[in-house]
Amino acid sequence: MTFGSRARAAMAAYGPACVGIDPHASLLAEWGLPDDVEGLDRFASICVEAFAGQVGFVKPQSAFFERFGARGVVVLERTIQDLRHTGSLVVLDVKRGDIGSTAAAYAAAYLDDDAPMAADAITVSPYLGFGSLLPFFEVADKNDAGVFVLALTSNPEGPEIQGARNGDTTVAGAVLSQLAALNAGAEPMGAFGAVVGATIGETTEDLGINGPLLVPGFGAQGGTTADIRRLFGPVIDNVIPSTSRGVLSAGPDVEALRDSVVRVNAELVGS
């Protein structure tokens, strides 16, 4: 199955929510865990137990593992492997973006199904030119994986670049239109998605890319179901709202974490 097909199936089976695994220092402390590799390992293990096969999408943030060096990356690798093939799709948040053979190497590291850190999908940055992402799309296509491209991020610095214009087209608009072209004709939707923040306010960009829309900022960061309805309207069925603290604050109790996800999905489906 293509990533688009698997994503649609995961949304139908579990709901649209994506839970971020963001083991930053303050959250480790909230869970009563030390800010070291042992604490990281325990945090990740609890998340796997709580979410594997219970949540449609799980999004580990690579940076919070990498900060512990090689041992932290080992924990990330094991976390990805433990989550995959459980029904939950792993979206690895790495925001990679480079050119030529380097881009191809990143793609092989995260999207080749035989790689130790292979995920179901990754996030990438298009700001070396959309064409620089071709190796990611090619490797993803060969491995039925997905790629989420930054388009309209909710950080206040984002519009400086994303809203810049080339004639009548913004940078974000160009990214979205090229994703739509890649996904043209795909059923039930394409494998190549966009990252669009839940807290961007308003947009006149065409979000109908026939692909999944990963929407961070939902929940504790301020994004609401009303924001999602307003922003995404006719393409809301392709939206994967991502929340981290809004769910993880219920930890470290496994059942409380699962209950938190159930509530989030119920809120989203009811919207």
Lowest mean pLDDT among 107-111, 204-208, 225-229: 225-229
Strand partners, 218: 223
How far apart, in whole angstroms, are the C-alpha atoms of residue 271 and residue 258? 20
- Considering only residues 222 and 118, tell me which one the structure prediction assigns the higher pLDDT: 118
Pick one of 3.20.20.70, 1.10.1840.10, 3.40.50.2300, 3.10.20.30 as the CATH number of 3-270.
Answer: 3.20.20.70
pLDDT at 271: 56
- Reduced to 3 states, what is the DSSP secondary structure of residue 240? strand
What are the pLDDT digits (tens) for 74-95? 999 999 999 999 999 999 999 9
pLDDT at 270: 80
pLDDT at 27: 97
Domain ranges for the chain, please list them.
3-270
Give the angle 96-98-102 at the CA atoms, nearest 5°: 105
What are the pLDDT digits (tens) for 140-192? 999 999 999 999 998 989 999 999 999 999 999 999 999 999 999 999 999 99
Show the DSSP H helices in the chain as ranges: 3-14, 25-30, 37-51, 62-66, 70-83, 100-111, 134-142, 159-162, 171-183, 225-232, 245-248, 254-270
Q: Which amino acid is at 244?
A: S
pLDDT at 154: 87
Task: Identify the burial level of 114 via C-beta atoms within 10 angstroms of its C-beta, where 0-12 means exposed, 13-18 middle and 19 or more buried.
Answer: exposed
The pair of three-digit structure tokens given for residue 117, joined into one six-digit string: 């850190």
pLDDT at 66: 98
What are the pLDDT digits (tens) for 40-75? 999 999 999 999 999 999 999 999 999 999 999 999
Catalytic residues: 95
What are the pLDDT digits (tens) for 102-134? 999 999 999 999 999 999 999 999 999 999 999
How far apart, in whole angstroms, are the C-alpha atoms of residue 128 and residue 223? 29
Q: Which long-range contacts link 168-173 to residues 24+ away (Cβ below 8 Å)?
A: 170/205, 172/203, 172/205, 173/205, 173/206
CB–CB of 82/117 below 8 Å? Answer: no
The pair of three-digit structure tokens given for residue 241, joined into one six-digit string: 């709202």
pLDDT at 128: 97
How far apart, in whole angstroms, are the C-alpha atoms of residue 257 and residue 271? 21
